[in-house]
Structure 1
Amino acid sequence: MNWVPYEKFSIISPLNPDEIRSRMTEQVSPAFTGNFFEQLTNRYSKPFKGYVNINEFKIEPVIVGRNSFIPVIKGRVELKETGSCIYITMSMHQMIEYIIMGAVVFLTFAGFLSWLNSLKSNKFDLVSLSPFGVLTFIYLMVIYGFNSESNSCRTFLLELLDGDYEQ
């Protein structure tokens, strides 16, 4: 289990880069650029959206509705002696990372102010530590959500590319 919503790994595949590109292209639709309400309906016929170029790709799973924890998958394909090596990085959307960092800063600041206030009044209560409890809950929710989504994406890519996982 990753304790950070970020994952970097490699897939060793017996396929050559052209076969990998064709298999990826069969599973990836171009990204839809409609408005927010049009994105709530599934307009994709394939399980991923994004792009696949000659040596690289950037994709994300297609879902109906919204899920802040789906990973953005960036990859690079290199030719090896026995096939190909696909270097993959999975991370959260950058906007979600900014929102989470803002919440962390706010809750940490509020928690320390509350804790200092309880120290100043010589009355300790658990309510003064509640921002840290909320911070812990958010962290666990993000880690669980990201890991469950990234595990399913990794499994799908391993099956699609007939590859072996290499960390």
Structure 2
Amino acid sequence: MKIFPSDKIEITTSLSLEEVRTILTNNIRQKTGVIFGSNNSKNTKLFEGSFEQDRFEIQRVITGRNSFLPQIKGHIRPSMNGTKLIADLTIHKFVIGFMVVWFSLVTISLIFGSTSLQTNPIFLLVPLIMIAFGIVLVKFGYNIQKNKSISDLKMILNGKLIHKNSI
């Protein structure tokens, strides 16, 4: 079972490589800080990050903060009938590092609690519940935002998702 979700997608479109470049350039802004409150109507760009030499590192523009927002790294290339976008969706490396430390500390407390002779077995449920909660939180938070990110990419490119798998 994979604790940290990630996906690889391929989206094809009948648009030319130059048209896709223009669309991505017009829909990606430079990364900014966290925005609280209502979404500003001046911002019409769906993604933030960078797009250079047919490679991109982006994430969806959202209001507030979501640590499980997929980081999308990929590239575009010409295909027989238009253009193909190939991307990997992952969780931010800082979040993975934080969750590894968190899971490690909870696991250590579970091990020490289980080896202690005077520990009531009911108290061992707390670390197990914390581990299960962490796994569900990561997967749920990522999957909701992943689907929105893929839908937005398909929409702006007028493309079709031809390949999606967990890596």
Normalising to structure 2: TM-score of the pair? 0.86
Tell me, in whole angstroms, the C-alpha distance in 1 between the residues paired with 2:3 and 2:14. 31
> What residue is the counterpart of 1:145 in the other structure?
141
> What residue is the counterpart of 1:6 in the other structure?
6
CA 40–6 in structure 1, closer or farther in 2 if over 3 Å, else same: same
Tell me, in whole angstroms, the C-alpha distance in 2 between the residues paired with 1:62 and 1:163. 20
**Which sections of structure 1, spanning at least 5 residues, go unmatched?**
33-37
Cα offset for 1:89? 0.7
1:64 aligns with 2:63: yes
What letter is aligned with 1:39? V
Normalising to structure 1: TM-score of the pair? 0.86
Tell me, in whole angstroms, the C-alpha distance in 2 between the residues paired with 1:130 and 1:54. 50
> What residue is the counterpart of 1:40 in the other structure?
35
Cα offset for 1:116? 1.6
* Superposed CA RMSD: 2.0
Aligned residues: 158
Tell me, in whole angstroms, the C-alpha distance in 2 between the residues paired with 1:95 and 1:67. 13
> What residue is the counterpart of 1:74 in the other structure?
73
Higher relative contact order (CA 8 A, sep 6+): 2
CA contact (8 A) 1:21 1:53 kept: no
What letter is aligned with 1:104? F
Name the SS for the 1:39 alignment partner.
Answer: coil
Superposed, 1:13-162 pairs within 5 Å as 13-32=13-32, 39-41=34-36, 45=43, 46-117=45-116, 120-121=117-118, 124-162=120-158
Deviations 1:69-111, CA, capped at 9 Å, x for gaps? 1111111111111111111111111111100010011111111
**Which sections of structure 2, spanning at least 5 residues, go unmatched?**
none
Name the SS for the 2:64 alignment partner.
Answer: coil
Cα offset for 1:115? 1.4
Tell me, in whole angstroms, the C-alpha distance in 2 between the residues paired with 1:19 and 1:12. 13
Deviations 1:113-133, CA, capped at 9 Å, x for gaps? 11122xx34x65221231111
| Paired-residue identity, % | 23
